[in-house]
A and B are shown apart, each in its own frame.
Chain A
């Protein structure tokens, strides 16, 4: 921009100055029906290859289960998608437009990727409702947060989620007092509040009773379609109950991928994973 242009722009009263317009990241572009691309991703820790030339594509609206023995790199893969870990090589894209490797954790979360951690982490000294309030999709800049009040609509959303995760009775209890299973539910509730386009769910049913497991299965299945869901789970019954497509990870790369029966009968899979048990 030349000086004359700059001066001109000051005279245009019908337009806001350019520097005042907040920079908007490109929106999630699902035109090719793929929500997540991971291509040729590798990551080693002190020479140990936790992720090794991993290629993974998640379709929009898909519910994908990822299984694999301990240490296969499932959680590390999620760390890479959410910006916690930077891969050594490879590409990770969210839709067509968003290069996740150029974004940090809050940007990735704001773009629409929500995550439930393997070890449930909730804000222990805050109450159940406060945890949900913080997770809610909202303007998270400092000043808006200082002035924020719960609108009726937001309150309804919180109540709705409390019912879904069955924590209505405990809404004003500190999250630190919840049982392991309840913390899992609270984290799922926080995910729901965030309204992400892609949910990464790491071992959601650990510590849950059989009944709770069924409810989780129902919930995750109902979310898919509108959103895309990636579930990492060891519990094979659970996986069987929700799985459409299963990906088997082994030593940091994809060993097999397909329908549950297909994968179960794959000799390579039987050898490294299912065969053990």
Chain B
């Protein structure tokens, strides 16, 4: 059934996957096999940083799928990322067992601190890895499905949709801040010890998480690419460019939007689940509306409707951010804003657009 045509005429994508493969092979070697005092050694700190950015790249691809190809400017996509992250965080909390400060084998520390006597029902099952993985997919997926069902059926689109997605992530942030919600309130979930029995402090665990992130990014790219190069992808672009026209040909616009949006939310959730064990914490700040807006900026800078451009944008912006916030912390937000405006005004296809033009010119 699956033909390889969709990747053959995707030169940029082949480059992207090639580079990703190279990184996934080289980084573990440079970290584990090259001695720490060598100039070629890749520190575990850098591995984790890159791994974290790879999960951002996957999130960016998810956002590009709905914004670039379907024209849905979701300003709440980081919410799905955070939900996937929380599902993973809950598993990691249960893995701590009796090694917490209060030594309660059943209850995470924050619950003991709140004087809770038993585990709330929605924490059941999270001691099992497979269950947590299922939730990583189901929770963002089901929320996106319900949200999309209501929004697309009543034909909410454009700015209004962007605003309600912002409202969604904002509402979730406020809810998760509350202690009685049972997700650790303000502090979120943290102090993780191990995953599947492997210590999160070990270099080898970090490397595995890093490689898993690279793999998830590659698979997420391939799946998204498969969608956009199928006839469904053509229909998405048709809907983006002339929504009502595609209705008059017979396309059920709301169904197409609904399923692509849900798939995108699941990708975002998976990205979040890989993010949390690497950074070691998940808190309500991840739901902050600003995060979702920054995400859109990565996609715009990288190149909308290119998928790999979105991933490149995420990496580029985040490396610049980690550099700039260290060097000139007060400049960062202004630099990002200015970059966004410049890109949207002069480079509708982002940096990928420049590279393509160069390639065509040479």
Contacts and interface: CB of A to CB of B under 8 A. Distances in A.
Interface of A: 82, 84, 104-106, 109-110, 115, 117, 121-126, 130, 133-135, 140-142, 145-149, 190, 194
B237 A145 contact: no
A123 B251 contact: no
B16 interface: no
Given A121-B242, A123-B237, A126-B237, A146 B247 contact: no
A110 B249 CA distance: 8
Nearest to B247: A105
B238 A123 contact: yes
A126 B248 contact: no
Contacts of B247: 104-106, 109
Contact of A142 (B232, B234, B238, B248): B232
Interface in B1-25: 1, 3
A117 B3 CA distance: 36
Nearest to B242: A121
Nearest to A190: B249
Nearest to B231: A148
B103 to A, nearest CB: 51
Given A106-B252, A135-B249, A140-B251, A145 B235 contact: yes
Contacts of A123: 237-238, 241-242, 245-246
Contacts of A141: 252, 255
A148 B227 CA distance: 11
Given A123-B238, A125-B237, A147-B1, A105 B232 contact: no
B118 to A, nearest CB: 39
Given A123-B242, A123-B245, A147-B1, A140 B234 contact: no
Nearest to A124: B241
A109 B248 contact: yes
B104 interface: no
B197 interface: no
A106 B251 contact: yes
Contacts of A149: 3
Q: Which 8 residue pairs across A and B have the least CB separation, nearest first?
A: A109-B250, A105-B247, A145-B232, A148-B231, A146-B232, A123-B238, A110-B250, A121-B245
Interface in B49-91: none
Interface in B100-151: none
Among the interface residues B242, B244, B245, B250, which one has the most CB atoms of the partner chain A within 10 A? B250
Contacts of A117: 245, 248
Interface string B237-269: 110011011111111110110010000000000
B248 A134 contact: no
A146 B227 CA distance: 7
A126 B249 contact: no
Contact of B230 (A84, A135, A140, A148): A148
Instruction: Say whether chain B's binding surface is mostly helix, strand, loop, or mixed.
Output: helix
14 contacts: A84-B244, A106-B252, A123-B238, A126-B241, A134-B231, A134-B235, A134-B246, A140-B251, A141-B252, A142-B232, A142-B255, A142-B259, A145-B230, A194-B249
A98 to B, nearest CB: 14
Interface in B219-233: 227, 230-232
A173 B231 CA distance: 18
Interface of B: 1, 3, 227, 230-232, 234-235, 237-238, 241-242, 244-253, 255-256, 259
B255 A147 contact: no
A126 B234 contact: yes
B245 A133 contact: no
Contacts of B237: 123, 125-126
A110 B252 CA distance: 10
A88 B308 CA distance: 50
B1 A109 contact: no
A115 B238 CA distance: 16
B264 to A, nearest CB: 14
A75 to B, nearest CB: 13
Given A126-B237, A134-B231, A145-B230, A140 B252 contact: yes
Given A145-B231, A146-B227, A140 B242 contact: no
A115 B245 CA distance: 10
Among the interface residues B1, B230, B246, which one has the most CB atoms of the partner chain A within 10 A? B246
A134 B238 contact: yes
A145 B180 CA distance: 45
A121 B247 CA distance: 12
A140 B247 CA distance: 11
A105 B231 contact: no
A194 B245 CA distance: 13
Given A106-B250, A140-B251, A126 B230 contact: no
A115 B248 contact: yes
Contacts of B244: 84, 105
Given A117-B248, A122-B242, A145-B230, 9 more contacts: A109-B247, A115-B248, A123-B241, A134-B234, A140-B252, A145-B231, A146-B231, A149-B3, A194-B249
A130 B249 CA distance: 13
A147 B249 contact: no
Nearest to B255: A142
B241 A109 contact: no
Given A109-B250, A141-B255, A146 B245 contact: no
Contacts of B235: 134, 140, 145
B29 to A, nearest CB: 38
Contacts of A110: 250
B256 A142 contact: yes
A154 to B, nearest CB: 11
Nearest to A123: B238
Contact of A105 (B242, B248, B255): B248
Contacts of B259: 142
B36 to A, nearest CB: 48
Contacts of A121: 242, 245
